[in-house]
Amino acid sequence: MWCEFSKKNIFVAATCVIVSGVAVSSTVWAARQRNYTPREFRSVLYGLGYNVAVSEAPLTDAQTKKAIREFQRGYKIGIDGIAGSETQNLAAEIVKSLKYNLNLVSNPDPKLTLNQFYGPRTQEVVKEYQEQLNIEQSGIADLALRQKLNQQAKDNPEQPSPTPTPSPSPTPVI
């Protein structure tokens, strides 16, 4: 009969559905929603602890190019001082990981949206986390803070597999 399936066919079909679901979810997690505007990208750099003034100006001033180069050097990607696709994708991944771990460890209400943007709400939750740690509440998630957060997320019994923030090497100079 045309509608009969063997166990092998069902197994193959189920495997294809599962694998395609994982591939789609991984793609959705990794994909940037869109390119950053200059203000958004500077906000990410600033929020991650790089010395840059947030503005709408093109990303071509000396201070911003220096911050981008430090970011690229720290994460061992092409160092050109330009916020190209690879740089923006990595920045988006770091911000999403930061937000995921903040949601897990500091349990903000409401939860942070897992997107690529470092806005006022992210800064507010970072300040709340800094308050929990009894450190200065700057709203800046520098490398030391992200490493502490990653460790706490890893040790959290509620979630066995946190998303670690990629770690730069060597440590960026601010």
Confidence of residue 13 (pLDDT cuts 50, 70, 90): very low
Which range is most confident: 21-25, 134-138, 155-159? 134-138
Which residue has 């890893």 as its token pair? 154
Instruction: For residue 102, give the amino acid letter.
Output: L
Question: Can you tell me the distance from the alpha carbon of 171 to that of 52, in angstroms, rounded to the nearest whole number?
Answer: 17
Question: Do 162 and 100 meet the contact criterion of CB atoms below 8 Å apart?
Answer: yes
Residue 20 has pLDDT above 70, yes or no: no
The mean predicted confidence, pLDDT, of the chain is 83
Contacts of 65 (CB under 8 A, 6+ apart): 59, 81, 82
Question: Do 31 and 114 meet the contact criterion of CB atoms below 8 Å apart?
Answer: no
Give mean pLDDT, residues 91-110. Answer: 97
Per-residue pLDDT at 159 = 59
Which has the higher per-residue pLDDT, 168 or 33?
Answer: 33
Question: Can you tell me the distance from the alpha carbon of 58 to that of 54, in angstroms, rounded to the nearest whole number?
Answer: 11
Residue 160 has pLDDT above 70, yes or no: no
Give mean pLDDT, residues 121-133. Answer: 97
Per-residue pLDDT at 19 = 37
76: left (phi over 0), alpha (psi -120 to 50) or beta: left
Residue 34 has pLDDT above 70, yes or no: yes
Nearest to 94 by CA among 155, 126, 48, 54: 48
Nearest to 97 by CA among 25, 30, 165, 32: 165
Question: Do 108 and 102 meet the contact criterion of CB atoms below 8 Å apart?
Answer: yes
Residue 27 has pLDDT above 50, yes or no: no
Instruction: For residue 65, give the amino acid letter.
Output: K
Contacts of 166 (CB under 8 A, 6+ apart): 75, 90, 93, 94, 97
Residue 30 has pLDDT above 70, yes or no: no
Per-residue pLDDT at 52 = 97
Helix boundaries (H) for 2-142? 7-30, 38-47, 62-74, 85-106, 120-132
Give mean pLDDT, residues 71-100. Answer: 97
Residue 60 has pLDDT above 60, yes or no: yes
